Structure 1
């Protein structure tokens, strides 16, 4: 019985598809389904920042696209009445009514940035939803 070259092509294609599926599942598992949903919202809507919840210390976190993140952060804080004071590394310092707020940024997943806002100073995602309404 002759082996058809098409059998090898089909087996190779099936193996490649299986490897692609395994890689996709591993990627989704490493990121987390909730974060995939947040990324989807950023990519398919006009929202620029979405809330991620608090970290292990209770500090609010927000996810944004990596493009123009510095201007976006300063704009959002300004809308809430905060004045930009200075930047040191990944920390942005703001002032309002004698209070100080620190927002740190961290590049995540090569296309997104995570902002962490010290204390309960401002909700960056709420500032956006108010403007849309």
Structure 2
């Protein structure tokens, strides 16, 4: 490899990218025609360097500004949507939080309401300790609770406020009810009353 080869090989990357002058191009072309080693080197180098299509439009500054505006607009839109979501969630929890979380974790209640709505059941249990059930407000709660307790051999005694009192073997217990929403009420049964004796 001589000095001309070294010069041509140094210039080849720019020659491939069409960045060399007209005179340099002529010099490189003459050398490549006479030197098979540099021609092979040129062909290998050309395969390794990705080709740039000079006919493609180079993005103008205006296009870049438009793209940046679109990106900013999308970021602003996303941030606005998140802000609205969190504000709405905050307002809903602020207004209805006590109702949503009045029985603790709302997920068992939601599952029970879905089960209640999808079946003909009068009640669905949603808590083991304490033993709690949920029912539709349209049902006659007194009759339903009486039937439930009679199945457990408890005898109805009286109602006081939102509690129903039952007796069995000299023991007295109360089943308390609570309006959960306009459509549903919950009721709590002492754990030992659910066991038949």
**Same-fold call, TM cutoff 0.5:** yes
Paired residue for 1:78? Answer: 150
* Secondary structure at 1:109 match in 2: coil
Number of aligned residue pairs: 99
* Secondary structure at 1:35 match in 2: helix
Is residue 63 of structure 1 aligned with residue 134 of structure 2? yes
Paired with 1:117 and 1:33, the residues of 2 have a C-alpha distance of 20
Paired with 1:118 and 1:85, the residues of 2 have a C-alpha distance of 16
Aligned-pair distance for 1:119? 3.7
Please identify runs of 4+ aligned residues in structure 1 that moved more than 2 A. 29-34
1:109 to 177, 181, 192: 181
Q: Which runs of 5+ in 2 are unaligned?
A: 1-80
More strand by share: 1
Q: Which runs of 5+ in 1 are unaligned?
A: 1-14, 124-133
| Structure having the higher Rg | 2
Paired residue for 2:163? Answer: 91
Paired with 1:53 and 1:75, the residues of 2 have a C-alpha distance of 20
Q: Is the 8 A contact 1:59 1:117 kept in 2?
A: yes
Paired residue for 1:46? Answer: 120
Aligned-pair distance for 1:47? 1.5
Paired residue for 1:34? Answer: 108
* Secondary structure at 1:121 match in 2: helix
Give TM-score, length-normalised by structure 2: 0.44
RMSD, aligned CA: 2.5
Give TM-score, length-normalised by structure 1: 0.63
Higher relative contact order (CA 8 A, sep 6+): 1
